[in-house]
Amino acid sequence: MPRAIWSGSISFGLVNIPVRLYPAISEKTVRFNQLDRRNGARIKMRRTNAETGEEVEWGDIVKGYEVSKGRYVTVSDDELAAFTPEITHTIDLECFVDLDEIDPIYFDGGYHVAPVNAAKPYALLVEAMEAANKVAIAKFVMRSKQYLAALRPRDGALLLSMMVYADELNSTEEISEFDSLSSVRADAREVAMAQQLIDSLSEPFDPELFHDDYREKVLDLIDRKAAGEVVSLDVTPAPSAEKVVDLMAALEASVAAAKQARARHPTAAGADDVPSSAVEVTDDDGDAGAATPAAKRPAAKRKSA
């Protein structure tokens, strides 16, 4: 069972609903420790002075912000304390908006919001939000930092999705590769064929069909080696991309492959038989793009270790 990471209340007008936040996501990844190959001992990291090489004690470490190359402004904990948000232990609902108005790029992690001896007002808020088809934009303080969040009903409960602030987003204007798009005009036939390919590969979203193949294979390798098995793995080189000058030909071939796969496997949506390698397409300017069929879907879901 996940542990509560925050407790407080939802401030909804004059109504306060005591709640706790529980992580809605448990990230699963394979973590390794660094070892000395000579005796298998753990490697310890030391805090050292970049100029003298001497180890530095925690008491001698201060916070510094680099304002120019090699020039730092130090800030003390007492100075930062003056700006620390007041810990109110409330999730203040600022306004209600339509979920479709929020670009998913703003979301960053989620938490289950559980009621604490306040089932009735909690259920009332959930039902009212579901009826209005609205989500709440909220602010709250956790661990001395103020967060922006979206509070929304999901499966009869409330889910709090952490959000980033607008000035934390990186603009596409800062990425030079996007400049070439302004001069590109797609042919109507190509657009129609691309839409047909999308239709051929469209199906209801089932999150259970997607899982981390890499993590599962690494865990299997670890299990085999821990059992004393001598493992020999062949690394298959990545296939070279096939150069195709005609974009329409690539799209037509992709649509045909998708249709044939669906005909053979109507319940699997055809993803297993669509070629998994990307077909590289070069336009008149010599820029490479990719007409990439749907990723190959695994046949079975392995339980997490």
**What digits encode the pLDDT tens for the residues 219-233?**
887 787 788 877 777
pTM: predicted TM-score of the whole model, two decimal places: 0.57
Pairing of β 135-142 and β 90-97? antiparallel
**What digits encode the pLDDT tens for the residues 204-259?**
877 777 777 777 777 887 787 788 877 777 766 655 555 544 667 777 777 787 77
Which of the four pLDDT bands, split at 50, 70 and 90, describes residue 127? very high
The CATH code that applies to domain 6-27+83-166 is 2.40.290.10
Percent of the chain clearing pLDDT 90 (strictly above):
9
* Top-ranked range on mean pLDDT: pick from 12-16, 144-148, 273-277, 291-295: 144-148
Tokens describing residue 277: 């390698």
The runs of H, that is alpha helices, within 44-147 are: 77-81, 119-132
Question: Which residues are bridge partners to 112 per DSSP?
Answer: 22, 159
Nearest to 92 by CA among 37, 146, 165: 146
**The pLDDT value given to residue 85:** 64
**The pLDDT value given to residue 246:** 67
Rounded to an integer, what distance in angstroms lies between the CA atom of residue 194 and that of residue 186? 10
Picking from 107-116, 131-140, 189-198, 245-254, which range would have the lowest pLDDT averaged per residue? 245-254
Is 60 exceeded by the pLDDT of residue 265? no
Q: Any idea where the domains of the chain sit in the sequence?
A: 6-27+83-166, 187-230+241-291
